[in-house]
Structure 1
């Protein structure tokens, strides 16, 4: 069964909110590229990505993302997200630009 790009991005967001690291990382390519928009990638493999998010989930065990808006164009899904570190705690907004290839998220560019 083929999963649509938007369904794949939603599934990774759901796994993120559940802090299910294995399921979350399963949506990303082994050579995942992560960068701030218009900058070179600061992450270029799934093991580094996994380590980074293991740290985030450990530091912020109640961390959640609220989807504010989503746009889809072909293999690109753009989410406007509100990150909530804990109920009543720190919040901030980001734009996540997901580029998909071969049924996985191949690249994420963040605007903070």
Structure 2
């Protein structure tokens, strides 16, 4: 199934699975070319798919066992909100985030993180 044919919730779930597999190409395929990532109510941290790809290439190299556990999910139209637990390595550091995904034209156009 192509990315454009996925429902909003299925698209966000599929990107989470690609993230956990650390498949950079598959992961980045879910994001718009002009994706914007920021802290909730804060400054933009990453803009554009090339910068996003570079960031997560580094994350996957630095934390090769990094995984996200979905704690809860809410969906309202083109917005999907995930409460996630990030585990850097088995038995290692963990932290929780809220990821607010805004979807447009079958891609993730924006992600706002509350930490």
TM-score class, shorter:
over 0.9
Instruction: Tell me the equivalent position of 1:45.
Output: 48
2:17 is equivalent to residue 14 of structure 1? yes
C-alpha RMSD of the superposition? 0.8
Instruction: Tell me the equivalent position of 2:79.
Output: 76
The alpha carbon displacement at 1:40 in A equals: 2.8
Question: Could you tell me how far apart the structure 2 residues matched to 1:72 and 1:35 are?
Answer: 20
Q: What TM-score does the superposition give when structure 2 sets the normalisation length? A: 0.95
Give unpaired runs (5+ residues) of structure 2: none
Which one of the candidate residues 92, 97, 104 is aligned to 1:94? Answer: 97
2:63 is equivalent to residue 60 of structure 1? yes
Give unpaired runs (5+ residues) of structure 1: none
The alpha carbon displacement at 1:77 in A equals: 0.1
* Paired positions, count: 112
Secondary structure of the residue aligned to 1:31 is: strand
Question: Could you tell me how far apart the structure 1 residues matched to 2:38 and 2:92 are?
Answer: 26
The alpha carbon displacement at 1:72 in A equals: 0.1
Which one of the candidate residues 25, 30, 36 is aligned to 1:27? Answer: 30
- Return structure 1 stretches of 4+ with deviation > 3 angstroms: none
